[in-house]
Amino acid sequence: MMDRVRTAVIGLGKVAETIHLPACLLVDQIALIAGCEPDAQRRELMRAKFGIANVYEDANTLIEKEKPELVIIGTPPDSHRDLSILCLQNGADVLCEKPFAMSLAETDDIIEAARQFDRVVSVNNQYRYMNQYGVTKEMLAAGDLGNLFFLQCWQQMYYPPTLEKTSWRNSLKQSTLFEFGSHPLDLICHFFDALPESVHAVIPQLGDKYDADVLVQMTLRFPGERLATIALNRVSRAPERYLEMRLDCEKASVRISLGGIARAGLELTRNRGRHYPRMRISLVKGGEARLESEGTSRVIAREPQPAFASATAAHLRKMIEMRRSGKINYEGIGRAQQILRIIFAGYESAKTGQVIRLDSFPAPAKKQAVSAPTASASAIASGSVSGSGSESFSAPSSSSAPSSSSAPSSATASTSANSQSFLAPPG
């Protein structure tokens, strides 16, 4: 049997506890050797709970003493660039949490380091490894569903950032699309097997109560006149739906739920002029996918339990397979970078009211923008950069090609197309 991969986890917070550490225990090829966390109480708690052999206060000491081959980074996004580069430079492959980084320039730096040191690097958009999405993708790829031409995706819950317990999260002004959006966007691009040509987003400022992007509506145009819409609503009083999707394909539709369903019903559906009674029973904690066509609906995939950790385990296995095959490619990480580009394009669209073409975003920095101050990552994480939907996170680089150059932000204008209150009574 091959030696197990010496694996460490940086950041022993919530995602480590619920996803990374359980995922490590699910992967036979992994030996969990160490962790690091500045909060002493948290460090000790995770060490005891998961039997981590050695824990450290900081990443430098961990890397120096343990020399891990694989590191999982579960810290807030403003530290992803520096920690990823530290690990890559010191001989470790990296699974970094989403959001990938604070700017496209930072992602360029990480990818460049991975190439330079011949390391595997990936971003943990793990949903595609869940059963309901995997089965759907297989059916699409096999041609069983015909061409996918329209995808709707939505989330509804009452969970504005102000309810978040972590200070870094509840101070994010651009929160929902940046912090959660990469999951649905990764799935959508995976299903279309393409990147969108253009993006249009509306991110209303819902009064003074929520100083963040708690409501995001986005339309994505894909090549071949195909369309996707995303609606993320963090202030909905309706029953929580963590992530819902409908894929309309030429031969059938697929309805996918993530985050638990308990539904029983008898409904009368109409199809080509005829009525059909339809019985539906769904009871799963993790989610399911249903094939819907000609008035019928049948389950094609179930995820009995929430699969956030097991999907991450599948992702880790894939990374280890790539490392062991010796055939490292940077397609996956390039796609993760493009997902972040779509997110920034969404904020830009919400700010300007324009449809943003991805092939020309971000636009080369304008002359007057060169002297404009660029928000630092730490300033953004601490919430000192404000204005939901009205400012970009940081300076996106002027090109999507890996390069270490960082262009100044051209998006520092303070005017917002989205400052009207949508909660105001209709005039």
Ligand X SMILES: NC(=O)c1ccc[n+]([C@@H]2O[C@H](COP(=O)([O-])OP(=O)(O)OC[C@H]3O[C@@H](n4cnc5c(N)ncnc54)[C@H](O)[C@@H]3O)[C@@H](O)[C@H]2O)c1
Where on the chain is the footprint of ligand X (CB under 6 A)?
A: 10-15, 19, 36-39, 42, 59, 74-77, 79, 97-98, 124, 126, 166, 179, 308
DSSP letter, residue 240: P
Query: Whole-angstrom Cα distance, residue 385 to residue 387?
Result: 7
Strand, helix or coil for residue 244: strand
- Supply the minimum distance, in Å, between the C-beta of residue 176 and ligand X: 11
| Dihedral sign of CA atoms 297, 300, 305, 306 in order | negative
- Supply the minimum distance, in Å, between the C-beta of residue 224 and ligand X: 30
Strand, helix or coil for residue 151: strand
- Supply the minimum distance, in Å, between the C-beta of residue 57 and ligand X: 8
Cβ-based nearer residue to ligand X, 259 or 408? 259
- Two tokens, residue 344: 């920034």
Cβ-based nearer residue to ligand X, 306 or 362? 306
- Provide the residue type at 203 as one letter: I
- Supply the minimum distance, in Å, between the C-beta of residue 25 and ligand X: 17
- Supply the minimum distance, in Å, between the C-beta of residue 94 and ligand X: 13
- Supply the minimum distance, in Å, between the C-beta of residue 103 and ligand X: 15
Cβ-based nearer residue to ligand X, 45 or 231? 45
Cβ-based nearer residue to ligand X, 76 or 161? 76
Strand-strand pairing, 30-36 and 5-10: parallel
Query: Whole-angstrom Cα distance, residue 291 to residue 293?
Result: 7
Query: Whole-angstrom Cα distance, residue 357 to residue 1?
Result: 50
Cβ-based nearer residue to ligand X, 82 or 112? 82
Strand-strand pairing, 296-303 and 54-56: unpaired
Cβ-based nearer residue to ligand X, 79 or 136? 79
Closest CA to 12 of 42, 54, 52: 42
- Provide the residue type at 74 as one letter: G
DSSP letter, residue 13: S
Cβ-based nearer residue to ligand X, 83 or 254? 83
Instruction: Find the angle CA(75)-CA(80)-CA(83) to the nearest 5 degrees.
Output: 90
Residues paired with 302 in a beta bridge: 288
Cβ-based nearer residue to ligand X, 18 or 269? 18
Q: Closest CB to ligand X belongs to which residue?
A: 13
Q: Label residues 246-267 b or e (16+ Cβ within 10 Å = b).
A: bbbbeebbbbbbbbbbeeeeee
Please compute Rg for the chain using Cα positions.
Answer: 22
- Supply the minimum distance, in Å, between the C-beta of residue 353 and ligand X: 28
Cβ-based nearer residue to ligand X, 42 or 119? 42
- Supply the minimum distance, in Å, between the C-beta of residue 367 and ligand X: 35
- Supply the minimum distance, in Å, between the C-beta of residue 425 and ligand X: 36
Asked if the peptide bond before residue 184 counts as cis, ω within 30 degrees of 0, the response is no
Cβ-based nearer residue to ligand X, 168 or 192? 168
| Dihedral sign of CA atoms 235, 239, 244, 247 in order | negative
Residue 264: its H or E element? strand 261-271
- Supply the minimum distance, in Å, between the C-beta of residue 128 and ligand X: 12
What string of DSSP letters covers 79-99? GHHHHHHHHHHTT-EEEEPSS
